[in-house]
Structure 1
Amino acid sequence: MAVLAPFVDAVGGSQVRSRRRTGGPSAVLFPEDEYDQMQVERILKSLEDGSVPSAASDIEELMRSLLQAAGNHRGGGALRARPLAAHLEQNPEFLTETLPFMASVARHLRDLFPQGLPHLSPSNSATHLRRIQVYALLSASFFGIIPHGQRDLLSDWGNLRLNALDMHHRGFFERAPKFQALLAYFGAMHKRMGSCWMQMLERNDFSEAKCPSTCLCQEGRTLDIAPVDEKISFYLHTPEPTTFTGPKGEQVSRDKVDVDEMITQPIPLTKLVVQLDGDITKSDGNLQVDFADQFVGGLAMFRDHVAQEELLFTLRPEMLAVMLITAALKDHEAIVIKEGCHWSVHGRTPVDHMGRRETTVVAIDALELKHDRQRQYTTKNLKREILKAALGFQGDPFEDTLPGTRAGVATGKWGCEIFGGNTQLKTLLQWISSSGCGRDMYFMGFNDKRLAGMEKKLSEIGKRFPTTKDLFDAIVRCIEQTGGRPSREWSLWDSLLKLEPTTSH
């Protein structure tokens, strides 16, 4: 079995399992069969050398051939890539220039990942990838050569409940906004990293590049770093005290995240600002909340709808790499992605002293309540949501080592629309979480006129219940007044404004 793990030499399947057991699971980046690997290599080398398709039918056939060679083709009818193929047929420059570059980078996955690609886990709370590594993963996913059956291939680790970075069978290549953004990313990064990559090929050295460029740091300093070596960081937050390792081996420790402390101690509520025309995706400098589900990544597509998470990952395709290293989130887990920049403004955002650009996305999955909305009102689930948000709002573990104030939280109707949560309740629970983390909260309205007057009401609520303990206790009292089963017409905010405060400060 050819599986990337924390060793370089290729070994048999049983040996891989025995060595793998001493550490943690790693993403399977190659087909199991050696002959299949050779077939994939042959096709990619042909593309790299300039033998590219031009007609839509030939593009589809290329995709089918790669999927078959990698063992990912499902058969049973037309490939779900016709809109992509038709678009590429009208874009010969991409086919003749960018596609060969993608094939070249994807062909060198082994060279770029000599130590494998370990999953995020409580024992591996941080993963830092070079930009060229992420480009290789996304190119390989575009070509369909990374095995889709990760769950089965890693079954020795139990039921990991893994997602699949499958762009071919889940509608991704049928959605023009999605695949066009991805193609724009591939083209922009080709122009930015192409010369560095050529030097790496010439030297046959895929470690740190020897073609540094000067980037402006957010502190006003400059930093010499090659475009291929800018870092994208992925962090897993759990409630337990955690020590995170940075891109260069530096370490920082974080205390326990205690939801009971947040709701029993009189922690002052932080500032809450409502921006009716606000857009989370345009809030660089703040933590941008990804309204995730358990499977982070946004590829579970709806034909006529783009959910908020899908929008974030469409604008920042590099974040899709998280799907290869993350199992389904548990109630006590959150993911933070540092540096997944918008493809259209990449290169203009300042970097920090670790070589990461100033974008931080936090993935937190709310309770799914479509079939039982009353579940959200139990004290257990109130605490679940506060903890989940607070874990995400921990943000970049290295933030406090940098100059400046703590970032705010840019959020909105988390867990409300598709998941069926109560917007008024979820807003207040997020406010408790952001206050417990010492961060201001910015509620982005996305031009929803129904939210007019929201900030005034929340300001009044904050004056009546000025601490996290006061607000949580008041929420519980209001729910109890309904017998624990609020109706759909019930207004939590109005109930709070009628409730007599019993302050504890």
Structure 2
Amino acid sequence: GQCANGWQPVDCGMSARETKLLFSEPRVPVGAWISPHLPALSRSVESVDGLAKLMKELHGPQAGLGKSLEAAIIGQERNFFGSLLPFVQKLACEAPKLFPDGVAVLQRQRDGTRRLSSRQIASLLACAFFSLLSKVDSVIEKCPELDFAYVFDRCKTQTQYLLHYFQRLEEADAAGEFPERFVDFHRRVVAEEEKKRKFSNDALLKSNAPLRDFKAHSKGEIQDSKGAIHADFANEWIGGGALMGGCVQEEILFMIRPECLASMLFCEVMAPNESIIITGAERFSSYSGYGHTFTWKGDYRDPTPLDSHKRLRTVIVAFDALVATSSNQYKMENMQREIIKAYAALSFPRSCFESHAEKGYAFKAFATGNWGCGAFRGHIPLKAMLQWISASEAGKGPSLHTISKQKLRLQFSKQKLRLWWTTAKNEHARQDDGGITHLTPFFCNNCRYCILRLWRRWGAGLGRGDTQALGGRKDGRVALEGTRELLRRGGHAWGSLLVPYRRTGSAAAREKPRRGPCSRHVRSYAPGV
């Protein structure tokens, strides 16, 4: 069973060789870092000046008390110095005992799992409270930094979230009900052989994987999706700007579920073929807003049940998008990179979750959204299609939550996707005629224009009769045949994409395919045949 530091390699499905390999990996020497500070951490602190003095003792005369933390204490001195701060000090002092062998690093290009108890995570975050886990060792130079100093100095909202987390734990501990749970952190790597076998140009075009049901929502949040895999639109350095004042999707996720922050200590920066899966992180807070409107809205009691490994039935997948420009995101190698990245997030091993379909926790749906479409400037329709391919290859159904209702209506209307959906919902048509091959022919070098036309003009040239005849049929095979008929007629659906002929000019010009990004996909037939 259980190792001295709380990990359970047997429960994680690790062989004897993998267990031996685990303890040969680089480790974060938490105990060695904290032990010299135990006398100072054990000392009673009764005022703001006393806390500032403690920080100077820990870090030198240049250190001090952060402005945001000091502002949060005002009016709450009795509770803060009477119970909350002593509890945080106690958790930090427990670190050498809880981590006698340190924390093994989740290295790049190596699959692995770390299982930490809720008390171990609380101890790590308590050490971060006092800035005791700063990068002082080359062993974690490829990991983000777990340190609350910036937040406590400049971020009032994030300070509220972190203090509320410790307040909840202190109340539970005082009542003798400290949670006995575990959280798993898993690094998933898509090997080179798997990449070539599944995601080369030919493999994608020949894939017979069925397209899973695609759903779009204008209401609700990703984290409200019960029994679904939750997307974390991550930075390659997991956590992103969560401890640097960031207020977008990943940073908000890490604030309402602070246990995710522990990953920043031992997860190395992600490679293009990797993702990080977090299983069992509890939600402690409610929130509202986004970006500069992000605010704390109060306590949240997570109703998610435990599985047999004492993990909450919550699965979060962290996967970083490509920083896009106006042209590079449409290149084949970059689209393949995004497909592989999303597939790494969704093809995790069964040990990362425990299905309980009877209670609504089957984890067959993938709650996602506009991945990489904010600061990373990704094209919303393109990223949705790439995620759809990856999710289908992994056997998951994407459920897209969008922030902008207008974008939802314009970019993801059911009328535009009806032909695909009608085909995809028919199992027989999926296997014989449907599947990922409906999407992949549009992905060639510099295919921005066909992506735009596919999503913005889908159905624009269809008459009402054509739309009803194709989209209104329940039989996917009939819908597919109807689409082929439009192609033969030179209609506006796939015909305008796969047969990019000029529609004006001389007969010779009409017979010659238009030069453009999709010329490699031009069929041998002409419009009007």
Give the TM-score, by structure 2 length: 0.71
Partner residue of 1:91 out of 76, 84, 88: 76
Alignment partner, residue 338 of structure 2: 385
CA displacement 1:213-266 (0-9 Å, x = unmatched) = xxxxxxxxxxxxx84431100111111399xxxxxxxxxxx9999334555312
Mapped to 1, the partners of 2:170 and 2:422 lie a distance apart of 53
Alignment partner, residue 435 of structure 2: 467
Mapped to 1, the partners of 2:456 and 2:148 lie a distance apart of 46
CA displacement 1:195-220 (0-9 Å, x = unmatched) = 55xxxxxxxxxxxxxxxxxxxxxxxx
Alignment partner, residue 321 of structure 1: 262
The 3-state SS of whatever aligns with 1:232 is strand
Alignment partner, residue 180 of structure 1: 160
The structure that has the greater radius of gyration is 2
Alignment partner, residue 374 of structure 1: 327
Mapped to 2, the partners of 1:390 and 1:470 lie a distance apart of 18
How far apart are residue 424 of structure 1 and its match?
0.7
CA 1:302–1:318 in structure 2 vs 1: closer, same or farther (change >3 Å)? closer
Mapped to 1, the partners of 2:234 and 2:196 lie a distance apart of 23
CA 1:268–1:21 in structure 2 vs 1: closer, same or farther (change >3 Å)? closer
Alignment partner, residue 192 of structure 1: 172
Matched residue type, 2:191 = E
Check the 8 A contact 2:133/2:145 in 1, yes or no: no
Matched residue type, 1:332 = N
How far apart are residue 113 of structure 1 and its match?
1.2
Alignment partner, residue 280 of structure 1: 222
CA 1:447–1:374 in structure 2 vs 1: closer, same or farther (change >3 Å)? closer
Q: Which has the higher helix share?
A: 2
- Structure 1: gaps (5+ residues): 7-18, 197-225, 243-253
Q: Percent identity?
A: 25
Alignment of 1:332-343 (within 5 A): 332-343=273-284
Superposition CA RMSD, Å = 3.5
CA 1:461–1:494 in structure 2 vs 1: closer, same or farther (change >3 Å)? farther
Mapped to 2, the partners of 1:378 and 1:390 lie a distance apart of 18
The 3-state SS of whatever aligns with 1:87 is helix
Alignment partner, residue 213 of structure 1: none
Alignment partner, residue 42 of structure 1: 39
Alignment of 1:62-77 (within 5 A): 62-68=54-60, 75=62
Alignment partner, residue 212 of structure 1: none
Mapped to 2, the partners of 1:256 and 1:190 lie a distance apart of 51
Alignment of 1:36-185 (within 5 A): 37-38=35-36, 40-46=37-43, 51-55=44-48, 57-68=49-60, 75=62, 79=64, 81-92=66-77, 93-121=79-107, 122-123=109-110, 125-150=112-137, 153-154=138-139, 160-169=141-150, 171=151, 173-185=153-165
The 3-state SS of whatever aligns with 2:377 is coil
Partner residue of 1:292 out of 234, 238, 242: 234
How far apart are residue 310 of structure 1 and its match?
0.5
- Is 1:259 aligned with 2:199? yes
Mapped to 2, the partners of 1:21 and 1:292 lie a distance apart of 25
Which ranges of 4 or more aligned residues in structure 1 deviate by more than 6 Å?
19-22, 254-257
CA displacement 1:267-318 (0-9 Å, x = unmatched) = 2211111110121122242111111111001335676x61111000010001
Check the 8 A contact 2:30/2:133 in 1, yes or no: yes
Mapped to 2, the partners of 1:103 and 1:184 lie a distance apart of 16
Partner residue of 1:412 out of 369, 378, 396: 369
The 3-state SS of whatever aligns with 1:426 is helix
Check the 8 A contact 1:5/1:118 in 2, yes or no: no
Partner residue of 1:348 out of 289, 292, 303: 303
CA 1:307–1:189 in structure 2 vs 1: closer, same or farther (change >3 Å)? same
Check the 8 A contact 1:338/1:360 in 2, yes or no: yes
How far apart are residue 189 of structure 1 and its match?
1.3
Mapped to 2, the partners of 1:172 and 1:386 lie a distance apart of 38
How far apart are residue 396 of structure 1 and its match?
6.1
Partner residue of 2:190 out of 206, 227, 239: 239
Check the 8 A contact 2:233/2:249 in 1, yes or no: yes
Alignment partner, residue 219 of structure 1: none
Alignment partner, residue 29 of structure 1: 30
Partner residue of 2:399 out of 442, 463, 470: 442
Q: Please, which moves more after superposition, 118-127 or 378-387?
A: 118-127
How far apart are residue 488 of structure 1 and its match?
13
Check the 8 A contact 2:111/2:189 in 1, yes or no: no
- Structure 2: gaps (5+ residues): 7-19, 285-298, 425-433, 460-492, 499-520, 522-529
Matched residue type, 1:230 = R
Matched residue type, 2:142 = R
Matched residue type, 2:387 = Q
Give the TM-score, by structure 1 length: 0.74
How far apart are residue 425 of structure 1 and its match?
0.1
Mapped to 2, the partners of 1:106 and 1:135 lie a distance apart of 8
The 3-state SS of whatever aligns with 1:154 is helix
Matched residue type, 1:167 = F
Check the 8 A contact 2:231/2:316 in 1, yes or no: yes
